[in-house]
Amino acid sequence: MYVGVRGTYHYNFTDNEKLDTYAGLSLGARIQSYSDNGYYSNTDSWGGTYLTTGLFLGARYYVTEKIGGFAEVGYDMSLLKLGVSARF
């Protein structure tokens, strides 16, 4: 599980109002736990809570005024994120 905060700086280097580009930083805690009882009574377990940071670049492109898609790359929760974005 990952619990954290993210901050972004939005910089639009184009005149395209549908495109939103940004860069950001994240700071959080990664909580990990693993346990295996094993087949022949061998047990293996590990885990803990670790401080983690990240850097990422992203862009959102709005297909309509309210709905769009986004992509982020960098060292954050994952190396690549793709998804849907909505404005309210």
pTM above 0.85, yes or no: no
pLDDT tens for residues 1-13? 889 999 999 998 8
Domain boundaries, the chain: 2-32+45-86
Mean pLDDT, range 24-44, rounded to an integer: 80
Residue 38 backbone zone (phi > 0: left; psi -120 to 50: alpha; other: beta): left
Strand order in the sheet with 19-36: 2-10, 19-36, 44-62, 67-75, 80-86
At 42, the pLDDT band (50, 70, 90 cuts) reads low
pLDDT tens for residues 44-82? 677 889 999 999 999 999 999 999 999 999 988 789 999
